[in-house]
């Protein structure tokens, strides 16, 4: 999506696409079911912690490290190999995201730089800044054409302006655009998928849709599968109304599945307390 055009509020325009309103309403109902659960009134911190862990696992799975939840719980060292480092990066991003909410609306590019720094966990020159022409990008899941550095810089600035300006678009639409734009651009040399999904989560939390972070969209994205994820992203990159609506619907379905996951956790806790 080009975010630098003349449309006053392109996010609001996307919200009016066929089927998007239905996705928005479906997500709202799914989120409301979690927040209305009796367990949330007494044990919301536990639900938030569990959602964070499961969200990190889902995001890591999409980046090629599909580990069982119990394996992640058991591990203390995430430096042994590439998969372990991917899981570790996802866990760090989940923990960091909640600390960046106040900065996001004022300086989203600063937050993105921080997210990449946290994910990479190393001090190379390319960490925490958009890539330059000729620098490689390691993002095996996404094989779409790679925009040049100038286009990346321009579209990141456009995205930043949209976020800072705010608007009337539903949280789902904004989150889907942030997620899709970062995957389409792949602005960093590594960890773009992890960063994009963390940014989606920040939008969903900061918008007030999911303030306690108990509806991990990453879980849903992983459940829907890598093939569906990439196919939906191709719709976003196409820029067509149908493609954009399909990507937003995909993100909506993922968020709804994340909400369902936490509802199941609430039910399990309730059974244990009975």
The string of pLDDT tens digits covering residues 17-64 is 999 999 999 999 999 999 999 999 899 999 999 999 999 999 999 999
Residue 266 has pLDDT above 60, yes or no: yes
Provide the phi-psi class of 110: left if phi over 0, else alpha when psi is between -120 and 50, else beta.
alpha
Rounded to an integer, what is the distance from CA 29 to the centroid of its chain? 20
DSSP string, 76-145: ----SSHHHHHHHHHHHHHHHHTTSHHHHTT-HHHHHHHHHHHHH-S--TTTTS---TT---B-TT--SP
Distance of alpha carbon 162 from its chain centroid, rounded?
17
- Residue 274 in this model has a pLDDT that exceeds 50: no
pLDDT tops 90 at residue 121: no
Cβ atoms of residues 223 and 241 within 8 Å: no
Is residue 224 over pLDDT 90?
yes
Spatial distance between the Cα atoms of 233 and 227, rounded to a whole number of angstroms? 10
Output the average pLDDT for the chain. Answer: 93
Residue 5 pLDDT greater than 50, yes or no: no
Residue 123 has a pLDDT of 62
Mean pLDDT for 261-265 is 96
Instruction: Point out the least confidently predicted range of 62-66, 108-112, 270-274.
Output: 270-274
Q: Is the pLDDT of residue 4 over 60?
A: no
Please, which residues bridge with residue 138 across strands?
190
Q: Each residue of 237-257: pLDDT tens digit?
A: 999 999 999 999 999 999 999
Which ranges constitute the DSSP H helices of 166-191?
171-185
What digits encode the pLDDT tens for the residues 79-95?
Answer: 889 999 999 999 999 99
Among residues 129, 109, 103, 128, the alpha carbon closest in space to that of 205 is found at: 103
pLDDT attached to residue 122: 74
pLDDT at 233 over 80: yes
Instruction: List phi, psi (to 5°) of 162.
Output: -60, -45
C-alpha angle 259-218-12 in degrees, rounded to nearest 5: 80
CA angle 259, 60, 94 (to 5 degrees): 60
Q: Please, is 38 exposed, middle or buried when counting C-beta atoms within 10 Å of its C-beta (0-12, 13-18, 19+)? A: exposed
Residue 70: phi and psi, rounded to 5, are -65, -30
Kindly state the average pLDDT of the residues 129-158: 93
Q: What is the mean pLDDT of residues 116-139?
A: 87
For 176-216, the pLDDT digits (tens) are 999 999 999 999 999 999 999 999 999 999 999 999 999 99
Neighbours of 90 (CB within 10 A): 31
Q: pLDDT value at position 8?
A: 67
Q: Which long-range contacts (CB under 8 A, 24 or more apart) does 125-128 make?
A: 126/188, 126/189, 127/188
């Amino acid at each position: 999506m080009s975010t630098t055009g003349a449309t006053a509020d392109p996010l609001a325009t996307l919200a009016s696409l066929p089927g998007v309103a239905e996705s928005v309403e479906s997500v709202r109902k799914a989120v409301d079911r979690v927040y209305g659960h009796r367990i949330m009134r007494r044990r919301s911190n536990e639900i938030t912690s569990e959602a964070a862990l499961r969200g990190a696992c889902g995001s890591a799975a999409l980046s090629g490290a599909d580990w069982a939840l119990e394996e992640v719980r058991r591990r203390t060292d995430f430096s042994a190999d590439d998969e372990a480092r991917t899981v570790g990066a996802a866990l760090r991003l989940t923990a960091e995201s909640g600390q960046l909410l106040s900065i996001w609306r004022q300086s989203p590019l600063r937050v993105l730089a921080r997210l990449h720094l946290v994910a990479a966990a190393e001090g190379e020159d390319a960490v925490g800044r958009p890539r330059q022409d000729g620098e490689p990008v390691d993002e095996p899941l996404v094989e779409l054409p790679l925009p040049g550095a100038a286009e990346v810089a321009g579209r990141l600035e456009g995205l930043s302006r949209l976020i800072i300006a705010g608007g009337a678009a539903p949280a789902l639409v904004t989150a889907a655009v942030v997620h899709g734009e970062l995957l389409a651009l792949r602005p960093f040399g590594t960890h773009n998928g992890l960063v994009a999904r963390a940014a989606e989560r920040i939008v969903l939390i900061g918008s007030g849709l999911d303030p306690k972070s108990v509806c991990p969209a990453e879980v849903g994205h992983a459940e829907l599968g890598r093939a569906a994820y990439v196919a939906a992203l191709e719709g976003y990159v196409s820029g067509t109304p149908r493609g954009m609506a399909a990507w937003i619907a995909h993100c909506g379905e993922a968020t709804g599945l994340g909400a369902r996951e936490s509802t199941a956790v609430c039910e399990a806790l309730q059974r244990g307390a009975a």
